[in-house]
Amino acid sequence: MPRRATFRSSWALALSVPVLAIASSILPTEAFAQQARSERQQIDISAGTLPRAVAELAREAHVSIGTEGSLPNTRTRALRGRITVSEALARLLRGSGWVARQVGPTAWRIEPALLPEPTLAPAPTPAPAPAPVPLAPPQPIMVTAAKTARDYLTLPAALARVDLSDEVSLLPQQGSSSVAMQVEGLSLTAAGAGRNRMFLRGVADSPFTGESQTTVAVMLDSARVTYSAPDPDLWLVDVEGMEVLKGPQGSLYGVGTLGGIYQIRTRRPQQGETSMAMSGGLEAVGHGDIGYGGQVVGNLPLAGDTVALRLVGYGMREGGWVDTGARADSNSLTVSGGRAALAIEPEGGWRIDLSGMAQRINSNDSQYVYAEGARQRPAQLPEPHDNDITLVAAHAAGPLGALTLALDSSYVWHEVGDTFDATQGAESFGVADPRLLHDDREYRVWNSEALLSGEFGPVSWLLGAAHLQARQTLVSTLESATDPAAAVVDDDRRKSTESALFGNLRLPLLTDLSLELGARLFAGTVRDTRLVNGVPVVEDLHRTGLTPSAALSWRLSDTGMTYLRYGSALRQGGVEIGAGGELEPFDSDELATLEAGWRQLMGAGQLELSLFATQWNHVQSDVLQPDGLIETMNVGDARIVGVEASWSRDFGEHWHVAAGGTLTEGHLYRDAEEVRLSDRSLPVVPEYTLRGEVEHRFALGRAEGQVNLRLNYLGPAHLSFDPLLDRDMGNALLSQLSARVLLGDLALGLAVENLFARNDDTFALGNRLRLFTTEQFTPVRPTTASFSVGYRF
């Protein structure tokens, strides 16, 4: 699609500011280093093998760790948090048959755990029953989506984790749709890769992509990826896992985070390690085309244990499966992308990460049909789509005395293009013989943040300052079959800024009772430039406010907690073009949620239950106009109530079972004129969902394998609360059977999707120009089989 000019200075500006800020803040001293080694410090170790985890701990803590013999190549979990080196070693070695002994101020030695030598009894007398061996306390599960590393059992908020092991990440992975199958409350529209909108906990404003800010913020590590753009559907290549923080996060993440946070955690460069992994695969779509793809990951130390570089590249082609007239399998798409990350660990316990990524999605056509259950449609013009995103980011974190300072800055270039067949539904624009409507969108997001955290006795706290600048441009042009010059039918430009101070305080009230308070004070400006009667008109709106949060948590035991939380967030207002052609302002929408939750680790399992109630005032929605354009406006007030439950458990060494479900009821109960409404369901989000998963792990000679069956049922949903546009959809069954075999450094994978050849309707929208006059359906992708192979060098 055509690109408009961008400021060339953006690259220099985005990179120079964070680098200067980081350089001016790092003042390492030997005193800091010695303090870091003897006291608690921030540890961040990826999941992997025991030898690799121990080596990474030595590098991060700047200590010496020796080993008596070779450590077993057992798997270890990710380890994050503020802990001492001794505690970190104890957690890594738990259950391994090895122990760590400190032999100097900054030196440890790992040796086999000694067993007591047997002694001969003087006479064979009956021995008393052996005392039960106490179980070791469970290893804390550390999460990072709440800005700092937290023990999962101390976080009074609903958070879902999806971890990817080394073996899984070695094989080709999909994007956010695969995560939605494993997380309760996470919903996506099904328009196709790069076109989808993401919602959490029923906070859904519209199925259309307009000018309003998205209700879920997508994060790549600590970099903000989206502000108003649709989900970029970042492919999960060389990714450690995902964390989904549910509910309004205005106190931590600021304006717009009404639904929550979707964070992708990439694998970081490893100092002192040279490695490479490659994988590739093929797929065959039933009644469709062939697809293929591959990926490569490399890690290279550049300066001993100080500097390391990690490179990722991937590409794939997904076969089409919708026949459009004589064009068979017209909706094929390609995805290509890459990441580069440079990690620097100077003296003093600091770490600097400089990273960049780019991804390109190009779809040859849309994937909707005009008859339920069909996989073909009458001949029409192609409707291609592309979603191109580039990001650069800088991060630095380390000790500042007894405190921890983290600095982040990132810049995003994001272009999204959609094309719609305009031979029907575009008559109101007055263009002779219209053919194609092009929507070209550009997004720029620059986000910077400084975060200081620490502890004062039993009290933990964080303070932060942030500044965000987001620009978005939408130009819609109508192409005619008789006029070579395309007509501009819409031109919307918006610049949003937010400057904020925020903080969070956690203090114990009683032994097992804690109070957590958070707040964000912000000042923001929205500048809207709209084309009115061919003339650009500018309108500025300013807003200051406070978005608080509060939580009360009760630690039931070492393995369980319950909590009560209040959270809030808002989106800034803007202007719309009224019925008379003049600019009319619309209000900020404000959302508050009260939730209660229970989280319990049960031996080899985990249970989580949450109930929530949400009040959403002055709901902003991207509304489809009779001419086919989209305007953002206030549509009224809404209420959402829901229940979420998830459970997982290991049965012995070989079986794992997981299940989950949601029940969500969201309604627009009052319109913008304060007229009471009935039966106006919020869009897209299913009324209920069910999820089940069974996994079997086995040994096959020297190989290790696993078979996984996953089923998801998406209950009934509505397209819109507008009676003229509402369509029933949902009641869809999604299924996947996969198998993986690991033989040393070789990994083999086989997967089958849509086991039961279902063609359920997942989304009742494709071409908005025809939505008033035709029904549209998006069936589940046909049965698809894929095979992949990966190798780690």
pLDDT in tens, 503-540: 999 999 998 999 999 999 999 999 999 888 778 889 99
The amino acid occupying position 675 is: V
Please tell me the distance from the alpha carbon of residue 546 to that of residue 526, in angstroms, as a whole number: 17
**Residue 189: Cβ-neighbour burial (10 angstroms; 0-12, 13-18, 19+):** buried
Q: Which of 299, 307, 401 is nearest to 34 (CA)?
A: 401
Percent residues over pLDDT 90 in the chain? 69
Domain boundary among 112, 129, 158: 112
pTM (predicted TM-score):
0.85
Torsion angle in degrees (nearest 10) through CA of 342, 346, 351, 353: -20
pLDDT value of position 140: 63
Two tokens, residue 228: 């108003």
pLDDT value of position 70: 66
Q: How many helices (H) and strands (E) does the chain have?
A: 7, 44
Q: Which of 35, 45, 28 is nearest to 106 (CA)?
A: 35
Please check whether residue 168 lies inside any domain of the structure: no
pLDDT value of position 457: 87
pLDDT band at 446 (very low <50, low <70, confident <90, very high): very high
Query: Which CATH number does the domain housing residue 638 bear?
Result: 2.40.170.20
pLDDT value of position 32: 37
pLDDT value of position 129: 47
Assign residue 486 a region (left: φ > 0; alpha: ψ between -120 and 50; beta: otherwise). beta
Residue 756's CB is within 10 A of a number of other CB atoms, namely 10
Please tell me the distance from the alpha carbon of residue 111 to that of residue 588, in angstroms, as a whole number: 61
Percent residues over pLDDT 70 in the chain? 88
Instruction: Tell me the average pLDDT across 336-353.
Output: 93
Please tell me the distance from the alpha carbon of residue 144 to that of residue 138, in angstroms, as a whole number: 19
Rg (CA), the chain: 27
Q: Which of 330, 184, 124, 138 is nearest to 715 (CA)?
A: 184
pLDDT band at 29 (very low <50, low <70, confident <90, very high): very low
DSSP characters for 156-213?
-S-EEEEE--HHHHHS----HHHHHTTSTTEEE--S-TTT--EEETT----SS--SSP
Please tell me the distance from the alpha carbon of residue 47 to that of residue 200, in angstroms, as a whole number: 27
Residue 393's CB is within 10 A of a number of other CB atoms, namely 25
| 3-class DSSP assignment, residue 19 | helix
> Which three-class secondary structure string do you get for 520-541?
EEEEEEEEEEEEECCEEEEEEE
Please check whether residue 127 lies inside any domain of the structure: no
Please give the C-alpha separations between residue 337 and each of 162, 229, 281, 314, in angstroms, as whole numbers: 22, 18, 16, 5
DSSP 782: P
DSSP 559: T
pLDDT value of position 213: 93
| 3-class DSSP assignment, residue 529 | strand
Two tokens, residue 602: 């049960």
pLDDT value of position 73: 63
Q: Which residues contact 598 (CB under 8 A, 6 or more apart)?
A: 560, 561, 562, 607, 608, 609, 610
Please check whether residue 662 lies inside any domain of the structure: yes
Helix or strand holding residue 38 (H, E) = helix 30-38
Please tell me the distance from the alpha carbon of residue 552 to that of residue 562, in angstroms, as a whole number: 9
Q: Which of 334, 327, 309, 324 is nearest to 375 (CA)?
A: 324
Q: Which residues contact 539 (CB under 8 A, 6 or more apart)?
A: 527, 528, 529, 530, 575, 583, 585
The pLDDT of residue 394 is above 80: yes
pLDDT value of position 75: 65
> Which three-class secondary structure string do you get for 601-640?
EECCEEEEEEEEEEEEECCEEEEECCCCCEEEEECCEEEE
Please tell me the distance from the alpha carbon of residue 629 to that of residue 210, in angstroms, as a whole number: 9
Pairing status of strand 323-324 against strand 376-377: parallel
Please tell me the distance from the alpha carbon of residue 773 to that of residue 766, in angstroms, as a whole number: 13
Instruction: Tell me the average pLDDT across 239-256.
Output: 94
pLDDT value of position 579: 65
Tens of pLDDT, residues 18-27: 333 333 433 3
Please check whether residue 438 lies inside any domain of the structure: yes
pLDDT band at 83 (very low <50, low <70, confident <90, very high): confident
Tens of pLDDT, residues 176-230: 999 999 999 999 999 999 999 999 999 999 999 988 999 999 999 999 999 999 9
Domain boundary among 112, 141, 161: 112
Please tell me the distance from the alpha carbon of residue 60 to that of residue 88, in angstroms, as a whole number: 11
The pLDDT of residue 31 is above 70: no
Please check whether residue 707 lies inside any domain of the structure: yes
DSSP 582: S
Please tell me the distance from the alpha carbon of residue 343 to that of residue 354, in angstroms, as a whole number: 7
Tens of pLDDT, residues 753-792: 999 999 999 999 999 999 999 999 999 999 999 999 999 8
**Partner residues linked to 160 by β-bridges:** 244
Place of tokens 């620097």: 344
pLDDT value of position 1: 43
Assign residue 131 a region (left: φ > 0; alpha: ψ between -120 and 50; beta: otherwise). beta
Please check whether residue 29 lies inside any domain of the structure: no
Tens of pLDDT, residues 452-469: 999 998 999 999 999 999
The amino acid occupying position 241 is: G
Please tell me the distance from the alpha carbon of residue 474 to that of residue 675, in angstroms, as a whole number: 33
Q: Which residues contact 82 (CB under 8 A, 6 or more apart)?
A: 40, 41, 42, 43, 149, 404, 455
Tens of pLDDT, residues 374-383: 999 999 999 9
Please check whether residue 582 lies inside any domain of the structure: yes
Instruction: Tell me the average pLDDT across 581-602.
Output: 91
pLDDT value of position 166: 60
Domain boundary among 91, 112, 133: 112
pLDDT value of position 615: 98
How many domains is the chain partitioned into structurally? 2
How far apart are the two ends of the chain, measured CA to CA in Å?
39
Please tell me the distance from the alpha carbon of residue 670 to that of residue 680, in angstroms, as a whole number: 9
Please check whether residue 300 lies inside any domain of the structure: yes
**What number of residues does the chain have?**
793
State the residue range of the domain holding 362. Answer: 10-17+259-792
pLDDT value of position 68: 63
Which position has the higher pLDDT, 433 or 58? Answer: 433
Contact (CB, 8 A) for 394 and 409: yes
Please tell me the distance from the alpha carbon of residue 418 to that of residue 416, in angstroms, as a whole number: 7
pLDDT value of position 94: 79
Tens of pLDDT, residues 117-175: 444 445 455 555 444 444 444 556 778 888 888 888 889 999 999 988 665 556 666 78
Mean predicted lDDT score pLDDT of the chain: 88
Query: Which CATH number does the domain housing residue 47 bear?
Result: 3.55.50.30
